[in-house]
Amino acid sequence: MTTPEVLFVCVHNAGRSQMAAGLLHHHARGKVVVRSAGSAPADTVNPAAVAVMAELGIDLSREFPQPLTAEGVRSADVVITMGCGDACPVFPGKRYLDWKLDDPAGLPVEQVRPIRDEIDRRVRALLAELVS
Residues annotated catalytic, as ranges: 10, 84, 88
- For the chain, list residues with pLDDT below 70: 1, 84-87
Torsion sign, CA atoms 85, 87, 91, 94? negative
Q: For residue 39, what is the DSSP state? A: S
Tell me, what's the pLDDT at 132?
76
Tell me, what's the pLDDT at 124?
98
